[in-house]
Amino acid sequence: MKFTDLGLSPEVLKAVDEAGYTKPTPIQEKAIPYVLMGRDLLGCAQTGTGKTASFTLPMIDILASGRARARMPRSLILEPTRELAAQVAESFEVYGKYNALSKALLIGGSSITEQERKLERGVDVLIATPGRLLDLFERGRILLAGVKILVIDESDRMLDMGFIPDVERIVGLLPKIRQTMFFSATMPPEIRLLADAFLMNPKEVAVDPPSSAADTVVQSLVKIAGERKDKRAALRALVRAEAVKSALVFCNRKRDVDILFRSLKKHDFSVAALHGDMAQPVRTDTLARFKNGEFQLLVCSDVAARGLDLPEMSHVFNFDVPIHAEDYVHRIGRTGRAGRAGRSITLALPEEARALAAIVGLLGHPIPEMTADGVAGWTGGDPSPRGGRRRRTRKRTSDQPRGTPTARNVAPETAQSRSAGTQAPESRNGADRRPAKTAPTRAEPRRAEPARAAPKEPALRERTPVERTPKERPAAAPSRPSEPFGEHTPAFLLRPVDPV
């Protein structure tokens, strides 16, 4: 099938042809006709298979007829990250250059004044992150009553980043009659429940098994027996051995991104860093320079794991095994896009075996192993009981025999006697234990005994049944219990006692 068979307009087909695409991907082939019919859509496909064009191409044709009004966008596309939003905006520029459609990009870190000016002129396509969109709505700069098409891209990422409450609030501000589309590479149960609440009689399109990697990516695993410094040495050896044209190096934490960046720069690698704590102009400039080939390596967090289309990406290195198995699919999907060949290499320490096992379970097959020069590997599972940190235990001295009780399990009175300098009692054949002689200790000042209080009148004293003597017990009440009543004393025991 070709793009000409999908029912797209000549203007869109001309832009697609100039972009170098002649054959649609499976997700585009199945999704575009339903979008043109105005159906709600739930799309699930592997990352890097062209999900963005699945909704941008038909949206251009649908919005070609109509006119935008001030502060009332005609369509809305929600993205979890700024980079994804900027990439979708670029797709509209490429595919819609022969259609007079206006668009606005609402993301944090950019000038809000310029964004307000675009909204005042009216936009056909609004591409936004949830935070900035709600900010402008609360300022009264945007009205959402005219939105006819809603696209929630990377829905599972929205869930992971905690945007679902914001998305629910935004959807509540939209008109009830609209066309809604969900797109994602993974479809967890939470997203499916959310889709049931937002979509009306949707058409579900799934061209590949959920959470599966593309066949164009060659995956490899390097097991490293050592510490993180050994992993950094292995990464340097692999970059030198592989024919790396450009590569992404993923870390789980932002501070690890900075540490690895400084390490690679110290060893004269062409490298840059990217994570969420960087200012938006710096992030945009870093990505642009990396796309232009100024850097060979880009050390980044998962902020670059979703939707970024880097055509010349030859390798992806997972310096850290991702905590969530679904993130592995998104990371390696940055290479091998649009039918191109790619390669991914994951470096794993023994304490990362549990996360690695989750990835293998998600993929349904083991990752082929390889070795790095000068780096020792490991075999088997995770040696620690919880897949990470080992349980700390009290060390036993060399002269202390096995089975000797430690301070954790010794009886309180035994520990107290040892701290006072006594020795453990001895017994033979079940004989009575006799306390050993105590070691001389420092004399302590004797405490003065409290003076005995003068006896009170027995008629005015309140006594419990235990304190009373047989003479004091009244003979007229033989049915009174002889055992104490605990903390509660019945009222009939509190009456005055006749003197003997």
Q: What is the mean pLDDT of the chain?
A: 79
**Cα 472 from Cα 56, distance rounded (Å):** 98
Residue 398 pLDDT > 80: no
pLDDT for the residue numbered 410:
42
pLDDT for the residue numbered 499:
52
pLDDT for the residue numbered 483:
52
Between β-strands 41-44 and 247-250, what pairing exists: parallel, antiparallel or unpaired?
unpaired
Tell me which of 17 and 432 has the higher pLDDT: 17
pLDDT for the residue numbered 84:
86
Residue 368 pLDDT > 50: yes
Q: What is the mean pLDDT of residues 223-237?
A: 91
Both 170 and 129 in one domain: the answer is: yes
How many domains does the chain fold into? 2
The SS3 assignment for 280 reads helix
**pLDDT confidence bin for 280, thresholds 50/70/90:** confident
**pLDDT confidence bin for 152, thresholds 50/70/90:** very high
pLDDT for the residue numbered 390:
40
CA dist list (Å): 173 to 60, 129, 137, 168:
24, 15, 10, 9
pLDDT for the residue numbered 140:
93
**pLDDT confidence bin for 412, thresholds 50/70/90:** very low
Tell me which of 380 and 120 has the higher pLDDT: 120
pLDDT for the residue numbered 48:
66
Lowest mean pLDDT across 163-167, 342-346, 381-385: 381-385
Tell whether 266 is covered by a domain: yes
pLDDT digits (tens, 9 = 90+) for 211-224: 566 677 899 999 99
Residue 491 pLDDT > 70: no
The structure tokens listed for 463 are 């006594």
Both 186 and 321 in one domain: the answer is: no
Task: Identify the domain boundary among 175, 206, 237.
Answer: 206
Both 268 and 178 in one domain: the answer is: no
Both 159 and 300 in one domain: the answer is: no
Both 198 and 328 in one domain: the answer is: no
The structure tokens listed for 340 are 């191109």
Residue 357 pLDDT > 60: yes
Tell whether 405 is covered by a domain: no
Residue 403 pLDDT > 70: no
pLDDT for the residue numbered 277:
85
pLDDT digits (tens, 9 = 90+) for 438-470: 444 454 555 555 555 555 544 444 444 444 445
Q: What is the pTM of this model?
A: 0.62
Helix 51-63 to helix 82-95 angle, to the nearest 10 degrees? 50
The SS3 assignment for 405 reads coil
Q: How many residues does the chain have?
A: 500
Both 22 and 161 in one domain: the answer is: yes
Tell whether 497 is covered by a domain: no
Q: What is the mean pLDDT of residues 12-20?
A: 92
Lowest mean pLDDT across 163-167, 287-291, 307-311: 307-311
Sign of the alpha-carbon dihedral angle for 11, 14, 18, 23: positive
Beta bridge partners of 298: 248, 272
pLDDT for the residue numbered 207:
79
Both 260 and 353 in one domain: the answer is: yes
Q: What is the mean pLDDT of residues 47-67?
A: 89
Both 273 and 311 in one domain: the answer is: yes
**Cα 286 from Cα 281, distance rounded (Å):** 9
CATH assignment of the domain containing 156 = 3.40.50.300
DSSP 53-107: HHHHHHHHHHHTSS--BTTB-SEEEE-SSHHHHHHHHHHHHHHTTTS---EEEE-
Residue 295's CB is within 10 A of a number of other CB atoms, namely 18
Both 68 and 148 in one domain: the answer is: yes
Tell me which of 294 and 371 has the higher pLDDT: 294
Tell whether 159 is covered by a domain: yes
Tell me which of 394 and 40 has the higher pLDDT: 40
Q: What is the mean pLDDT of residues 152-156?
A: 87
Q: 201-216: string of b/e by CB count within 10 Å (b at 16+)?
A: ebbebebbebbbbbeb
Tell whether 64 is covered by a domain: yes
pLDDT for the residue numbered 406:
45
Residue 443's CB is within 10 A of a number of other CB atoms, namely 6
Tell whether 469 is covered by a domain: no
Give 459's DSSP letter. G
**Cα 157 from Cα 306, distance rounded (Å):** 8
Q: What is the mean pLDDT of residues 236-248?
A: 91
Both 13 and 160 in one domain: the answer is: yes
pLDDT for the residue numbered 188:
79
Both 168 and 187 in one domain: the answer is: yes
Tell me which of 10 and 162 has the higher pLDDT: 10
pLDDT for the residue numbered 484:
54
Q: What is the mean pLDDT of residues 66-71?
A: 88
Query: Domain range spanning residue 344?
Result: 217-363
Residue 362's CB is within 10 A of a number of other CB atoms, namely 17
Residue 197 pLDDT > 50: yes
pLDDT for the residue numbered 124:
96
Site of tokens 């919880």: 386
Rounded (5°) CA angle 474-476-478: 85
**pLDDT confidence bin for 302, thresholds 50/70/90:** confident
Residue 326 pLDDT > 90: no
Task: Identify the domain boundary among 322, 339, 363.
Answer: 363
Tell me which of 260 and 471 has the higher pLDDT: 260
Both 257 and 187 in one domain: the answer is: no
Give 367's DSSP letter. P
pLDDT for the residue numbered 380:
64
Rounded (5°) CA angle 116-117-122: 95
Tell whether 145 is covered by a domain: yes
Do residues 343 and 242 lie in contact, with contact meaning Cβ atoms separated by under 8 Å? Answer: yes
Lowest mean pLDDT across 53-57, 119-123, 291-295, 496-500: 496-500
Task: Identify the domain boundary among 335, 363, 391.
Answer: 363
Tell whether 131 is covered by a domain: yes
